[in-house]
Structures are given as C-alpha cells and as structure tokens.
Structure 1
Amino acid sequence: MKALICGVGGQDGAYLARFLLEKGYDVVGTSRDSMVASFGNLRTLGILDQVETVSMAINDFRSVLYTFKRHAPDEVYNLAGQSSVGLSFDQPVETMDSIAGATLTLLEAIRFVDKPIRFYNAGSSECFGDTGATPACETTTFCPRSPYAVAKASAHWLVHNYREAYNIFACTGILFNHESPLRLNRFVTQKIIQAAARIAQGCQEKLELGNVAIKRDWGWAPDYVEAMWRMLNTDVADDYVIATGRTVSLEYFTEKAFAYFGLDWKDYVEVDPSLFRPADIMEGRANPEKARKILGWCHAVDVDGVIANMCGAVRS
C-alpha cells in the first residue's frame, strides 16, 4: 500500500507518516517546495529518511494530477492548509483557498485518475461553533464562527458531495482539538507549556492569555491519526467525530501545566482582552460514539495525559 500525505511536515502529517510506516506502507509526503522545506517534525520522529518527499502545489490541478499519476497512491490524506483559527481572521482569503479550494482540487484530481483512491479530509470541530452543554455528533448542525471554520465546513460538504455524486471513497474526520510536543508555539497549548517551563527554570516573565474560560475537548494527536487510517480502511466511506468526550476549560489546562512544574499559574498568568478573538467558541463538547462503534477507535490518552506528555517533552 502507498499513501500520499498532503501536509506531511505538520503535527498530524508527521505522526500519520510514522503510523503508516509502522503498518508497512510506502509513504510519500508533499510540500509546495520539498527542496527547501525542513520537515523538522519528520526529523524529530526519526523517519525523514523513510518518507519520500515531493513538491506539489495543492491548489494547482496540474501539479496534483501529475503527482497522483506519478506516484499512484492507494490512499490520500489531506492534512494541508492554513491551520490556525486566530490567523484566519487576519488571512481569510488565503484560509479559504488553502482549505476549501485545495480540497476541491484534490477531489477533482481523484475523479480524473484511472486508479481508485481513498481520500481522507481533515475536518474540524470548529465547524460546530459553540456546542454548549450538548455534545456534537455527526448530525449536529454546523454553525462556524471563524473564516477557518467556514472553510472547513465548505471542504466537508465538498467531500460529501463528491462521495455521493461520483462514488469516490472520501471521508472527513471531524477532529476536536488534539495536541502533542510537535505543536507550533503559536498554538495556545504549546504557548502555555513553553512559558511554564521557562518560568520554572528561572525566567522572569508573565504569560499573557486571552479568554481562559473557554472549554475544549483536548486529545492526543498520535491517537487521532489512527482514526484517520481506520476511516479509509472500512467498507463504507463516511464522516466521523473524533474526540475524547471530555471537555475542560483553558484555565484547567493552564493550571495543570503550571502545576507540573511546581508553579501556581495565578502568579504568572495575565488575561489580555486584546487576545480575545473577534468571535470565539465558548464551549466545545463531542460525542465520539460512532467512531467507537463502527471504527473500533477510542482515545488512549485524555487531557491530563496530554498535558503530562507535552510538559515531559519540554523537561527532557
């Protein structure tokens, strides 16, 4: 089996590449310019020399079609595109193009190749908007509250349409927040943990955060890439919510991260209203029961394990 991972250099792409290699796959990973990309996450995981990296412009139909014909993948995983909710408010056009536009290009290329390809699309819990106390499942109505979420919702329905109209084996994983030591520092979870580690080492600083009352379902990224693979290895293509089923506040995450280093977060954290998003989700809750029943998937690490693993990686 051969898999093509679009966005192989990111957190999910790197963990997925490692997972598939362990399954015996040949793995091809794409970047807009593979000659200059660092692929640091692949290097961190010790698998860079096992992944064939190639250049592919995900918004260029000819580039995508050429790559598909040259490498003939059995499975394509679309993990590329702008990945920051906050940044999407500053770059809405690029966000829509790199997520919805790129998904359409990939689906069209699959439609034109002679070989049947199974396609995974990275969806997002952001599509649901604020769930309140009711956990979201696959039939919950979308109510996106950011350009990022609007783009992900558009990509979701493109996948749904191509599955029905052209009989393409295409799935969307509606993933709730998932973290790891490979997270970039611009993501709030990594920002918190890196700051706590520096302060514990004697750095005199204050950590500025936005709204710490928001609540999210945080899982462990290596668990979630297995769910992606399981979606493409079932008999019927469908969409799945992937989450732990446990939601906690950002304040909880911050408190536990600082406590790992023996610190009281209240002594070092300041809330900065300028960091609040123009429109934010106060509460995100999930019901991953369908994935458990049909895919046989369940998370192995909950939010407390996520925090401990990320803090441990900094300390080591």
Structure 2
Amino acid sequence: MSGNPTKTALITGISGQDGSYLAELLLDKGYEVHGIVRRSSTINTSRLDEIYQDPHESNRRLFLHYGDITDASMLTNIVRDVAPDEVYNLAAQSHVRVSFDIPDYTGDVTALGTIRLLEAIRAAGVETRFYQASTSELFGSTPPPQNESTTFHPRSPYGVAKIYAYWATINYREAYGLHASNGILFNHESPRRGETFVTRKITRAVARISAGIQDHIFMGNLDAVRDWGYAPEYVECMWRMLQQDTADDYVLATGEGATIRDFLTVAFEHAGLNWHDHVRHDDRHERPSEVDALIGDATKAREKLGWEAKTHWRELAKLMVDADREILDDQLSGRHVKAEHV
C-alpha cells in the first residue's frame, strides 16, 4: 500500500513471532510501523525479512530502533519521538519453563517492563491506545474452560509476572483514562514460533528426522492439554481491540484442547512417521509445577469484536511440519540467507 500512512504504531517485541505478523498486518493497513529490538551479536530480525524495505527508499514505513524494555528513559524518549497512535507491548521473557530458571529476569522484563512502558506513555503525554499481550498462563491450575471471568491461579514465574502486567494495564486504564486493553491469548503457533517452544520443537524435529539428520527428540510431560491456534489470526484481533471506542480485556482461543501427545501424533503421522519410534522422555523438560489444561472460551471476542479462530490444532500441526520441511530443504540447498536490518 502506498501513500501517506494514516496511523503510526509502536511494537515492542517486533522481531518475535507475533511482532512480525503484526507488523505485516499494520503495514498492509497503511500504518507507519516502529519497532524496538535488542542489540545482539547475532541476527535477530530474520522474521522481518519479507517486509523490511531499503532504508533509502522514500516510501519506507518500517523503522527499527535499538532499545530494551528494561530501559525506562529509552522507552519515554521513543514514545515521545514517535508519538504513536497505537502501542503494542509484545516484549517478554515468554518461555514458561525457562522462567523457573531465571525468575528475577522474567519479572524484570515481563512485569516491570510493562509498567515502564505504561509510565513512558503517561510521562510523554502522548495520546495513544495500548495493547498488552496477556496469556492463558494467568489461569494456571484453574479448570477449563477459561474466560474473562475465570479466577487466576498462575503456576510459574512467567504467569505471575504476566498477572502484574495484566493488572498494571487495567490500573493505568482506570487511573489515567488510558485506552489500554489486555489480550488474554491462549497458545498460538506458526512456522515463526521460536524453536524451543514445544510445537515448533516437535515440527522441526519431524523435519530433521524425515531428512535423516536426527533420530530422537527429548520431551517432558505429554499429558498437558493446550488450546492451540494460528498466530496470524490472533494478531489481527490485537488490532481489532484497539479499534474499539472503549478499552476492554478479551480471551482469544479456539475452544478446542489437545494433549501434547495428540500434537506429536498428528505431526509425525503427517510425515509418515510413528512418534513412538523417536520420542524419548527427559525429566529436565518437566516444569516444577505443571499447568494441566488450558482451553479458552472466546465468546466475548466473537460477540464484541466479530473474531473467531479459523485454524485449529490439527491443521496447524500439519502446516508447521510442511513449513519446517521446506525451511530445512532451503538450508540444505544453500537457499536460506539471513540479513541484518538494524
């Protein structure tokens, strides 16, 4: 889409799965998009390859800024300079199992990072709308189905940190009149999912086992039930939340649960494999406190936002296996090239 953008958006966590899909969506809608990325000695912007434009082009509408959610002064400065119409806070230490190993860091980034960004918006005096990436891990051990009225009972440092961020968002909405909404998203996956997350770990292993590169995959609890949806559909609803006249909090989910064992079965069968031949158990992948079942009720999002998940877990498992096999083929043939954009 060409021409002058009608709105400007700022995305933290733009280089992640959700951030990259959201950036694509907003650019297609004519936005000017600004993203915050951490400086790293390795390339961390590969998910943005398809949408990043040459910096010398006069119509460039995607801008990346070095920064970190732990840097309050940087956040205030960038909010003041960019003056975004919409802010999407997707930055977090988002790996649940890892949060047990680094709880302090998880709290600093996931909980305090949110309050820093909210305070930056308030301090900069910018009129904007705010989206907070909340999570089904808020519910933890509370039995499904879970909706906006379900009691929270997190079972990890990540879930606890996200509760802080959830209530901080509501507090700034009530205390300062900020148009601030929480999206309580259940698990949402894609070929851009990080390789250490369980679904991508599985589909990547299927591709490598099919190619004869590895023989086994080591897994933890296979009985946990999750509600898996397709990430591009979920980020579209993030945008819908900020188009409403009144800020509110919404659960996004498919409403269908499956065990990790179920996902394994479909993923391996799609490649003509039997998972029993290749999966090994490893206690190191078990959580100290498990979340047994997360299945969301997205009635409110359907009725108020007109949103409904279309891609459910079986189709998702297959499309992710196909994508990982294609990625592996590209890597083995030398066609896979990454570029740094910052």
Deviates more, 1:122-131 or 1:269-278: 269-278
2:128 is the alignment partner of 1:122: no
Kindly indicate whether the alpha-carbon contact (under 8 Å) linking 1:34 and 1:55 is maintained by their aligned counterparts in 2.
no
Kindly indicate whether the alpha-carbon contact (under 8 Å) linking 1:211 and 1:276 is maintained by their aligned counterparts in 2.
yes
The alpha-carbon deviation at position 309 of structure 1 amounts to 1.4
Cα distance in structure 1, aligned partners of 2:105 and 2:266? 35
For residues 57-72 of structure 1, what are the structure 2 equivalents within 5 Å?
Answer: 57-72=68-83
- Which consecutive residues of structure 1, in runs of 5 or more, have no partner in the other structure? none
2:237 is the alignment partner of 1:227: yes
Cα distance in structure 2, aligned partners of 1:114 and 1:38? 31
2:164 is the alignment partner of 1:158: no
For residues 230-269 of structure 1, what are the structure 2 equivalents within 5 Å?
Answer: 230-269=240-279
SS of the residue corresponding to residue 237 of structure 1 reads coil
The alpha-carbon deviation at position 203 of structure 1 amounts to 3.5
Q: Relative to structure 1, is the Cα distance of residues 115 and 275 closer, same or farther in structure 2, using a 3 angstrom cutoff?
A: closer
2:287 is the alignment partner of 1:277: yes
The alpha-carbon deviation at position 32 of structure 1 amounts to 2.9
Residue deviations 1:94-126 (CA, integer Å, cap 9, x gap): 000101101101111111223311000010100
The alpha-carbon deviation at position 273 of structure 1 amounts to 2.8
* Cα RMSD for the two superposed structures: 1.4
Cα distance in structure 2, aligned partners of 1:70 and 1:36? 28
Task: Determine what percentage of the aligned residue pairs are the same residue.
Answer: 47
Kindly indicate whether the alpha-carbon contact (under 8 Å) linking 2:142 and 2:152 is maintained by their aligned counterparts in 1.
no
2:76 is the alignment partner of 1:47: no
Amino acid at match of 2:26: L
Equivalent position of 1:14 in the other structure: 20
Amino acid at match of 1:97: D
Cα distance in structure 2, aligned partners of 1:81 and 1:26? 23
Cα distance in structure 2, aligned partners of 1:274 and 1:57? 30
2:179 is the alignment partner of 1:169: yes
**2:188 counterpart (167, 174, 178):** 178
SS of the residue corresponding to residue 145 of structure 2 reads coil
SS of the residue corresponding to residue 251 of structure 2 reads strand
The alpha-carbon deviation at position 269 of structure 1 amounts to 1.0
Equivalent position of 1:75 in the other structure: 86
SS of the residue corresponding to residue 123 of structure 1 reads strand
- Which consecutive residues of structure 2, in runs of 5 or more, have no partner in the other structure? 1-6, 54-60, 327-342
The alpha-carbon deviation at position 129 of structure 1 amounts to 0.5
SS of the residue corresponding to residue 52 of structure 1 reads strand
Cα distance in structure 2, aligned partners of 1:279 and 1:129? 10
Equivalent position of 2:113 in the other structure: 102
Amino acid at match of 2:118: L
The alpha-carbon deviation at position 184 of structure 1 amounts to 1.5
The alpha-carbon deviation at position 35 of structure 1 amounts to 9.6
The alpha-carbon deviation at position 37 of structure 1 amounts to 5.3
Cα distance in structure 2, aligned partners of 1:180 and 1:30? 22
SS of the residue corresponding to residue 30 of structure 1 reads strand
2:319 is the alignment partner of 1:309: yes
Amino acid at match of 2:83: A
Residue deviations 1:10-46 (CA, integer Å, cap 9, x gap): 0000000001111111100111338975311001xx1
Cα distance in structure 2, aligned partners of 1:24 and 1:305? 31
Kindly indicate whether the alpha-carbon contact (under 8 Å) linking 2:204 and 2:325 is maintained by their aligned counterparts in 1.
no
SS of the residue corresponding to residue 203 of structure 2 reads helix
SS of the residue corresponding to residue 48 of structure 1 reads coil
Equivalent position of 2:207 in the other structure: 197
The two structures have a TM-score, normalised by structure 1, of 0.96
Amino acid at match of 1:109: A
SS of the residue corresponding to residue 195 of structure 1 reads helix
Kindly indicate whether the alpha-carbon contact (under 8 Å) linking 1:8 and 1:30 is maintained by their aligned counterparts in 2.
yes
Kindly indicate whether the alpha-carbon contact (under 8 Å) linking 1:34 and 1:54 is maintained by their aligned counterparts in 2.
no
SS of the residue corresponding to residue 310 of structure 2 reads coil
Equivalent position of 2:58 in the other structure: none
